[in-house]
Chain A
């Protein structure tokens, strides 16, 4: 990562010479800070932007000849250099205890390590992590999510001893234990116990405690990889690390060292921000600028096992005369400490556990000379005033990974015209490494845009100046029942393909009744107008509901018979049902008649509506399952069927932490635990994939349903048109925490109303297909031509492909 950064920084500064990168791993540099994301999203999630250099992977350097300025690699390649930069990083420290090489012991450093852990974990029940620091808790998180009973062993008397103080450590421990991870502090591991065949069976601590485990992860710190430097006679520190001066230069003027392998100002830094800072300094030096290392910002903020932890600046009050201000609320699970100067004028550092939302502002304050407010404790008290970023000086560093100041951000907004977070990230690189500063970056963006008078119109379309949310409230509060009334009283013109379906959806969400009743029919997009999905050649597809993906053999046979009888193409969908393609408009009622008679109903695949609740097979059959995921998925799908929303809504239910239903990619996902269900919300596949966030843990079914009712109804009331739940939550002021306060704590006093609205929906549900079949008036629209109702549309033709039909393409011969 640090070498990758150096090459990028050299390119930015117009470094003219050729650059060769010799790498040990067989994959391009990746984002090691977010390593754990690999379990969820794979290696692509960790990819870094491409660099302009001659990169040789899987070919590590084995020796350096400084006299002749040549390095040799393991494959025998020799590369001569003018300047050599060592960015060899570090290796995991594995304490020298018996059994450390047993099968089932791992370290947590590379994608290869994670792959090996994942494979081993598939056959394991319990895991133990040695090391209760940042990396150790990260590893514990991973083991727990792999479904292992997880323990953490820390030699110090608290978790994260390098980042948090005793008070923070106690609170952190309570959080972590509350999540089911067992914590052992104060004693080192004495030996890894093994079976006769040499595989891990447990871990014994120095005090005799024995922990059953079949997987051990060593995450007890790292050691600099300085062996190349040692071998060629460069100075290294007593406790390791290539000695460099404040320009990153080693004892050889032609050789630099950066990142975790370097010892700078007699310190080795195993964090990304100091490594990046060294890369910038060396890039400056190599392009003729007189930069020196500014000192390390060792601030960290992370979310471990769902717990926010942050530490910044002088967290342990080592500055002479420094004072502590501590706020602790063990009940709420929040701990905050500010370290201030002896006159309480300036912030030096601090620790936050449980709620780190103040971190970006506080860290920026600690890095500036800005005076503290009159009562500094207000900065960390729960009811704090968040106006701080306005007062941040331009010099304050907002993103410490990429060294972006507030001034640079303001310039990008005012001078370069950045108006969105993605633009601002792309222009300034702020928030592109660890991302912890993004809330502050977003706040600065909003503040500056407002100040510059940039107002983004929220008008729905040319016919309504109101946003969808405002129109929804107008329709709801005034009890408006028709589009004509709404546009006459609150809009202009005759509407369009944007506002008409949007209002039709609101009327459906609020009033019930059939979507094709009266004037409402004319508002619908063709899919909702005919209750099927328009395909590229003007034909439609038909998707009957298969709740939870469970279907009887008899119903499968009916689907096959219908497809055969009407000559339809069949495809299994991602939502565990069967899509029947190629139906002509006039065929739809006959197809539904067959399906409805066999007990099927509409699957609402055509609507901005609840689509499916996908499930794995659950504990009924699966030997790993802990709950009946199919049963719950069916119950949820039947409860919310026909529910119309600003966009489509998908759900998923997994019967264990293996998550075979991919519930975390859904708008709402439910994952079984030993004692109940965890609820996730705001996931999204599609154009911009996003993982759902954990909303609440270990719920019983009644509570789960109540939260889901409110979640869905609140979404309908407050989301923009075509806004999926993912971007709805992202755009929400206060994010998922706010959502929790609305749904769980009923902060807005809306819960009863939302509950009642969902109950009306559930009570008012009826099958839309059957309603058309029972209504001759609605059936009239299912004709090909008004003057030739029995003539099939001659423009819809098919050819055969792999034994089924597909639409004829231009210039193809039509099937006879």
Chain B
């Protein structure tokens, strides 16, 4: 099999104004769940909504914060903390959330999505 690089399609999700600073929302794209966060500086991050430790789709409901210089989210299930830049788990180096590109265009938030 050959890997094919596909340029992401920008999928509109919501208005930027719908997002609360330092809080997340869940979005559903092609049956997949995305957790979308607006940070204190106004920038956005998108990662998978599934908490790999518990298997529950809840990361969008976690508390946003920082660890050192990295923005973080703490899973509300068992409080595992993830780096919102890299998706990396601070508790288990082998675990990494999927991360997605995200941008704002004309006040709309768009997630970069690779349709298979």
Contact = CB atoms under 8 A, between A and B. Distances in A.
B14 to A, nearest CB: 4
Interface in A521-537: 521-527, 529-530, 534, 536-537
A127 B56 CA distance: 59
B54 interface: yes
Closest 5 CB pairs of A and B: A497-B74, A496-B65, A526-B76, A494-B66, A786-B25
Contact of A501 (B58, B63, B67, B71): B63
Nearest to A796: B57
A463 B65 CA distance: 10
B27 A493 contact: no
Interface string A339-370: 00000000000000000000000000000000
Given A500-B65, A786-B18, 13 more contacts: A494-B64, A494-B66, A496-B74, A497-B63, A519-B21, A523-B63, A524-B63, A525-B63, A525-B76, A526-B76, A536-B77, A537-B56, A785-B27
Interface string A477-519: 0000000000000000111110111000000000000000001
Interface string A672-703: 00000000000000000000000000000000
Residue among A526, A787, A793 having the largest count of chain B Cβ atoms under 10 Å: A787
Interface of B: 12-14, 18, 20-23, 25-29, 31, 33, 36, 39-40, 50, 54-58, 61-68, 71-72, 74, 76-77, 79, 81
Contact of B14 (A527, A787, A791): A787
Contact of A538 (B25, B28, B57, B74): B57
A332 interface: no
A522 B65 contact: no
12 contacts: A462-B67, A494-B64, A496-B72, A501-B63, A521-B23, A526-B58, A534-B58, A534-B61, A534-B76, A784-B28, A786-B27, A810-B55
Contacts of B31: 794
Contacts of A519: 21
A474 B72 CA distance: 26
B77 A500 contact: no
Interface of A: 462-463, 493-497, 499-501, 519, 521-527, 529-530, 534, 536-538, 780-781, 784-788, 791, 793-795, 810
Contacts of A810: 55
A522 B67 contact: no
Residue among B28, B33, B36, B79 having the largest count of chain A Cβ atoms under 10 Å: B28
Contacts, number: 98
A785 B28 CA distance: 6
Contacts of A462: 67-68
B84 to A, nearest CB: 11
Contacts of A785: 25-28, 33
B67 to A, nearest CB: 7
Contacts of A494: 22, 39-40, 64-66, 71
A336 B43 CA distance: 70
B27 A538 contact: no
A626 B11 CA distance: 69
Nearest to B63: A497
A495 B62 contact: no
Contacts of A534: 58, 61, 76-77
Nearest to A537: B56
Nearest to A499: B65
A781 B26 CA distance: 10
A455 to B, nearest CB: 24
A534 B77 CA distance: 8
B27 A500 contact: no
A495 B14 contact: no
Contacts of B79: 497
A462 B67 CA distance: 8
Nearest to A794: B31
B57 A495 contact: no
A529 B61 contact: yes
Contacts of A463: 65-66
A521 B20 contact: yes
A374 B76 CA distance: 61
B54 A536 contact: yes
Contacts of B55: 810
A501 B63 CA distance: 9
Residue among A495, A521, A527, A780 having the largest count of chain B Cβ atoms under 10 Å: A495
A24 B105 CA distance: 85
A761 B55 CA distance: 40
Nearest to B20: A522
Given A493-B66, A496-B65, A497-B74, A793 B54 contact: no
A493 B65 contact: yes
Residue among A500, A536, A785, A791 having the largest count of chain B Cβ atoms under 10 Å: A785
A194 B28 CA distance: 81
Contacts of B57: 538, 793, 795
Given A538-B57, A786-B36, A787-B27, A496 B77 contact: no
A538 B65 contact: no
A523 B22 CA distance: 8
Nearest to B56: A538
Nearest to A496: B65
A12 to B, nearest CB: 40
Contacts of A780: 18
A788 B33 CA distance: 11
B77 to A, nearest CB: 7
Nearest to A527: B76
Contacts of B65: 463, 493-497, 499-500
Residue among B20, B27, B61, B67 having the largest count of chain A Cβ atoms under 10 Å: B61
A524 B58 CA distance: 15
B27 A522 contact: no
Contacts of B39: 494
A478 B66 CA distance: 25
B69 to A, nearest CB: 8
A534 B18 CA distance: 23
Contacts of A537: 56
Nearest to B50: A795
B28 A791 contact: yes
A539 to B, nearest CB: 9
Given A494-B71, A496-B67, A784 B22 contact: no
B41 to A, nearest CB: 9
B45 to A, nearest CB: 13
B63 A496 contact: yes
Given A496-B66, A534-B61, A785-B27, A522 B13 contact: no
Contacts of B21: 519, 522
A262 B68 CA distance: 67
Given A494-B40, A495-B66, A786 B61 contact: no
A263 to B, nearest CB: 61
A786 B26 CA distance: 6
Contacts of B74: 496-497
A733 to B, nearest CB: 31
Residue among A500, A526, A788 having the largest count of chain B Cβ atoms under 10 Å: A526
B14 A526 contact: no
A436 B111 CA distance: 65
B16 to A, nearest CB: 11
A786 B14 contact: yes
